[in-house]
């Protein structure tokens, strides 16, 4: 337990001082990307990991928020209204998305979310008067909360870090709460939960809203980071990428999606600078994860670590008696 606190402390200090020891604007930007993609992955993990509902359409919701921010800004309504408006629109979209997809679970749920994601992608592509079609929408400026201009790389990083920490806190509280326990119960034994008096559908619906909230928060950071949104962001590959972050890091864990986001973003942005076929590398990494630790990087590492630890402990215990054990 103490070791965990120390590790957490070191991680926090490392994140808080990152612009001081990380050289180069490029890498600080990569760190910002990891952080907002981690929020996205945390949001998807609420469904995939804790509700047992695999969504393949989250990039569509992510896109709705990003387009909403860009569109409201184009109307000249300012950043606060753009962010608030985007959150409201996204939660409303998520509610519709949830009502439609929660008619099923398992494969059925995956297929409905896939279809909904594709519909949103199609809308972004074809509804040109609203989305600009293939050309996308530009976001001219970044906001300046409390006089801190987010146009500055370091300031943007710190803003993302704060939002990230708040999101991690929110997920931590949720997972430990009665509603979180109920959600995990509906994942493992929906029938039993119903017989115990829980409204399984409503619990899943609230989980979808929470997941949607985190998704839209990360999308707001994303659209201010890239200052551009195009249909590409809503494509199925984006949904799959976030799902891979969750699964590779470890679904149903707090740390897993964050590690997964780090892995995917680093391979995509940094490693792709050195290796042209980075997709191939990412694929190979995933195959390795699936073979070596199918439960994901974080739980897998914990398992291997414990195994090694137990072996060592057993080895140490076996030493005094080993003389007679040997033939």
Partner 1 sequence: MTALTVSGLCKSFGGLHVTTDVNLNVEPGERRLIIGPNGAGKTTLFNLITGELTPDSGMIKLFDRDITHVPSRRRAHLGMARTYQIITLFARDTIIHNVTLALLGLSPSRWNPLIDLKRQGHFVEHARAALERVGLGHIANRPLAQTSYGERRRVEIAMALTQNPKVLLLDEPFAGLSIDERRDVKELLLAIPRDVTIVMIEHNMDVALEFAERITLLHFGEVIVEGNRAEVVANPRTREVYLGH
CA distance 165 to 11: 12
Q: Is 50 in the site for partner 1 (CB under 8 A)?
A: no
Sole binder of partner 1 in the list 22, 28, 179, 266 (CB under 8 A): 179
Q: Which of 238, 209, 231 is nearest to 93 (CA)?
A: 209
Q: Which stretch binds partner 1 (CB under 8 A): 136-144, 155-163, 169-177, 231-239?
A: 169-177
Distance CA 211, CA 56 (A): 13
Cα 11 to Cα 210: distance, rounded to the nearest angstrom: 26
The footprint of partner 1 on residues 182-221 (CB under 8 A) is 182, 184-185, 188-189, 191-200, 206, 210
| Binder among 75, 173, 287, 304 for partner 1 (CB under 8 A) | 173
Complex with partner 1: residue 75 or 202, whichever CB lies closer:
202
276 near partner 1 (CB under 8 A) = no
176 in contact with partner 1 (CB under 8 A): yes
Q: Report, in Å, the least distance between residue 202 CB and partner 1.
A: 8
Which string of DSSP letters, residue by residue, matches 170-213? HHHHHHHSHHHHHHHHHHH-HHHHHHTT--HHHHHHHHHHHHHH
Stretch that binds partner 1, among 21-29, 45-53, 175-183, 297-305 (CB under 8 A): 175-183
177 binds partner 1 (CB under 8 A): yes
Shortest distance, position 291 Cβ to partner 1, whole Å: 24
Measure CA 44 to chain center: 6
Rank residues 130 and 202 by Cβ distance to partner 1 and give the closer one: 202
Q: Would you say 197 or 273 has its CB closer to partner 1? A: 197
Residue 312 in contact with partner 1, rule: CB under 8 A: no
Q: Are 46 and 214 in contact (CB under 8 A)?
A: yes
Q: Which run of H or of E encompasses 21?
A: helix 18-21
Which residue is listed with tokens 């090694």? 308
Measure the CA–CA gap between 15 and 17, rounded to whole angstroms: 6
Would you state the structure tokens that stand for residue 34, as one six-digit string? 């990891």
Answer yes or no whether residue 125 interacts with partner 1 by CB under 8 A.
no
The footprint of partner 1 on residues 91-110 (CB under 8 A) is none
User: Which residues are near partner 1 by CB under 8 A?
Assistant: 173-174, 176-182, 184-185, 188-189, 191-200, 206, 210
């Amino acid at each position: 337990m103490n070791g965990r606190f120390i590790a957490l402390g070191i991680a926090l200090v490392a994140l808080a001082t990152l612009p001081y020891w990380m050289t180069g604007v490029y890498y600080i930007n990569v760190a910002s990307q990891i952080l907002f993609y981690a929020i996205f992955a945390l949001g998807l993990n609420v469904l995939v990991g804790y509700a047992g509902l695999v969504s393949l359409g989250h990039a569509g919701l992510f896109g709705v928020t990003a387009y909403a921010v860009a569109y409201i800004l184009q109307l000249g309504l300012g950043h606060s209204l753009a962010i608030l408006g985007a959150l409201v629109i996204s939660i409303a979209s998520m509610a519709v998305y949830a009502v439609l997809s929660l008619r099923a679970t398992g494969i059925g749920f995956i297929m409905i979310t896939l279809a909904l994601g594709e519909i949103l992608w199609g809308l972004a592509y074809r509804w040109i008067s609203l989305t600009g079609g293939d050309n996308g929408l530009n976001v001219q400026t970044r906001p300046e909360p409390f006089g801190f201009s987010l146009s500055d790389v370091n300031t943007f990083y710190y803003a993302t870090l704060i939002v990230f920490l708040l999101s991690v806190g929110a997920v931590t509280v949720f997972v430990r709460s009665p509603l979180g326990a109920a959600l995990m119960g509906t994942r493992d034994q929906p029938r039993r939960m119903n017989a115990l008096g829980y409204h399984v559908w409503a619990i899943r619906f609230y989980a979808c809203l929470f997941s949607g909230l985190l998704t839209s928060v990360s999308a707001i950071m994303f659209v201010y980071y890239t200052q551009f949104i195009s249909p590409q962001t809503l494509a199925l590959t984006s949904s799959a990428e976030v799902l891979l972050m969750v699964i590779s890091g470890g679904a149903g864990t707090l740390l897993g999606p964050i590690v997964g986001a780090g892995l995917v973003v680093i391979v995509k942005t940094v490693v792709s600078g050195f290796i042209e076929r980075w997709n191939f590398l990412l694929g190979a990494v995933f195959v390795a994860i699936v073979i070596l630790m199918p439960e994901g990087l974080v739980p897998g590492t914990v398992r291997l670590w414990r195994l090694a630890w137990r072996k060592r402990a057993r080895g140490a215990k076996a030493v005094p008696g080993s003389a007679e054990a040997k033939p």
